[in-house]
Amino acid sequence: MIEKARGSERYGIVVSSQAQRLKPYAIDVKSPIDPIHWFLDGKEDVRSSFYLEDVATEFHVQGLELDWSCVTWDADFRYSSKGWEFFSFVGDRWNFIRKEERKQYLKNAYRVLLTRARQGMVIVIPPGEVTDATRPPEFYDSTFEYLKEIGFTII
């Protein structure tokens, strides 16, 4: 992504606002960003998207675009043999979302994230961690396999 960006082309990391278990990768959706700095400041400003330190959620990027985006996926929206499944992390565990309106909201959040890039995107799906009950590999593997099956290139 960084190597592909030319001149002033903007890149950054975007995640679901419900992506609560990306903290082990230094991605904290509860850490507030200032969208003005994130979208408008230059490569020398640590608050800008260029630094790849702060992440924007669907709320920050709705209606805006990046040239290149890195969508980091969490276990809130998972693919399984039954299709897409929807979860919310509360306390110390993932809870299945049952209300249709909340499912639609989460699906739309990923739709927003996946449509922010003008030129290209990288989707990062963490491998999970067998010693962490909130991030076992099976929460991520089926989504990874699904995206691979439908033609995403693995890098």
What is the pLDDT at residue 6? Answer: 67
Give the residue-averaged pLDDT of 9-31: 95
Type of residue found at 88 = S
Model confidence band, residue 1 (pLDDT cutoffs 50, 70, 90):
low
Q: What is the 3-state secondary structure (H, E, C) of 4-47?
A: CCCCCCCEEEEECCCCCCCHHHCCCCCCCCCHHHHHHCCCCCCC
Model confidence band, residue 2 (pLDDT cutoffs 50, 70, 90):
low
Phi first, then psi, for residue 10 (nearest 5°) are -95, 140
Q: How far apart are the first and last CA of the chain?
A: 12
Please say whether the beta carbons of 139 and 128 come within 8 A: yes
Residue 67 predicted with pLDDT over 90: yes
What is the pLDDT at residue 121? Answer: 95
- Better-scored residue on pLDDT, 32 or 117: 117
Please say whether the beta carbons of 108 and 59 come within 8 A: no
What is the pLDDT at residue 71? Answer: 98
Type of residue found at 95 = N
| Number of residues that this document lists for the chain | 155
Give the residue-averaged pLDDT of 42-47: 95
The 8-class DSSP code of residue 72 comes to E
Phi first, then psi, for residue 2 (nearest 5°) are -65, -40
pLDDT tens, position by position, 73-132: 999 999 999 999 999 999 999 999 999 999 999 999 999 999 999 999 999 999 999 999
> Cα(76)–Cα(10) distance, rounded to whole angstroms?
27
